[in-house]
Structure 1
């Protein structure tokens, strides 16, 4: 199975400026941040990084830590991508309120949905909604699902900033929602899912990627048919292989016409053009 790398290029409001030594320096609009990055095993282009804030990881392996601010940073500020507006903000989970390396997924979804009259799209684990807004901008009727009320409220705020009012917002465990849609006989033209390694639903539901992904994908398969456009899965658990999730999707979607493609997500460093890998992905795409 051939692996393809989808590359997030720098844009006006975001860039991976430099990376190395287990860290990365990024620009989010007018502000710069340093965050841990275990995959940046090389040496940085410069040893003299200047940033507004740095995330200092905790002693454990569970993502703990805190932000250290060297310059005042607002609680939130607006960024733009291809006519969409959304808010960046430092969060306790070391990221800035959205995932810029998902830009190739947003672009792919828009390309596939553009001009598809009456298209419907589902964004599972939709977080703060940039992917949902990208699909809505392409003309799709989007259903955005996330178990976090706070994330959905942030997504609604981003939709308001972008002038988009056509997204249906659902606060629910993704697995429960998909199972209910299957029982209702619903179908979608496009589905994007970005599940976490571990998570909890609003009613205490527990999600473990390694044990629950196959069941969720089997239900997702029942929400698409031969006339659907694509299903796009991204995974940030580094212990999984792109080949593994590709084989899983190939098995589950074997009865549909089309192809399964797999690979990695990466961000291009602005300074030297190095590619920093961030996630793995697999997608089923209908044959044109």
Structure 2
């Protein structure tokens, strides 16, 4: 039987409800409705209740992009939420995202625990807006943040600054190519975090798919870690199976913990958020 890891909400974020291929979320004092394929069940609240609560709803157009609809007046001020002593800046995008994957809170806590000793180093690949990078830096770790999208690196910098931190190393680069060069340079890390999308475009506009890169990413991560080092990897692609991740990880790591990532709504619905690997060298 597949193990399930449940990610909890916190005071500033709550998964209120899900169903009919949508999810209702509270980010601070702003509530959103966003598409969610995994919410294939009936919601716990009525449509009327959803519409009454929501400030913003994302309406998709095509397979990827769409538009945001304002359902009620937004509170004044910048859109930010707190996680402990850290601050994350949020904003609407044309791809339904708002700049944070809150189900990753379970990994943020593991990052904090793993980097408890002084002088530790973390490499964050496919680092997006940098929540994991900011968490690691707040623990005093030396952090290298790698992403192929310049705008996301700028967003991550704003999160670092809003959290009162500095000195994260920013790399605008393809994640696998950067990791391979680090290996040649002989650099090692105590923690590597990867959250690769199902497909992507590198810094030089090269296209790739995660199912073609997965084993290479896991292998190079194992070679970049100190003994006892930890790899945290999430994947949401339906083309990557849990047994495949498990097979590759056991080829290169001494201890492998693999599970599905789930989150429970306020109304008691269980929702799937992908596969989670925690592998120790």
Q: TM-score range by the shorter chain?
A: over 0.9
The answer to whether the Cα contact below 8 Å between 1:53 and 1:71 also exists between their aligned partners in 2 is: yes
Q: Aligned residue for 1:25?
A: 24
Residue 237 of structure 2 corresponds to residue 237 of structure 1: yes
Secondary structure at the counterpart of residue 135 of structure 1: helix
Residue 76 (structure 1) shift: 4.7
- SS of 1:157 mapped into structure 2: helix
Aligned to 1:95: 97
Match of 1:259 in 2: 255
- Give the one of 257, 266, 277 matched to 2:272: 277
Query: In the TM superposition, what whole-angstrom CA distance separates every residue of 1:151-179 from its partner, at most 9, and x where no partner exists?
Result: 00000000000011131111111111111
Structure 2 match to 1:246: 246
TM-score (norm 2): 0.93
For the 8 Å contact 2:228–2:280, the answer to whether it is kept is: no
CA-to-aligned-CA distance 1:56-108 (integer Å, 9 cap, x gap): 122x4x32322122234479511100111011111111111111111111111
The answer for the alignment partner of 2:69 in structure 1 is 68
- Runs of at least 4 residues of structure 1 off by over 6 A? none
For 1:84 and 1:214, locate their aligned partners in 2 and report how far apart those are by CA, in whole Å: 33
* Normalised TM-score (structure 1): 0.91
Q: Please list, as runs of the form range in 1=range in 2, the aligned pairs for 1:1-288 lying within 5 A after superposition.
A: 3-47=2-46, 48=48, 49=50, 50=52, 51-58=54-61, 60=62, 62-73=63-74, 76-114=78-116, 116-228=117-229, 230-253=230-253, 258-272=254-268, 274-285=269-280
Contact 2:16/2:26 (<8 A) preserved? yes
| Structure 2 CA distance for aligned equivalents of residues 86 and 239 of structure 1 | 31
Task: Tell me if structure 2 keeps the 8 A contact 1:173–1:205.
Answer: no
Distance across 2 between alignment mates of 1:209 and 1:72 = 40
User: How many corresponding residue pairs?
Assistant: 276
Unaligned runs of 5+ in 2: none
Distance 2:120 2:240 in 1: 32
Distance, in Å, in 2 between the alignment partners of 1:146 and 1:36 is 25
SS across alignment from 2:272: strand
SS at match of 2:166: coil
Check conservation: 2:12, 2:83, Cα contact below 8 A.
Answer: yes
Structure 1 unaligned blocks of 5 or more: none
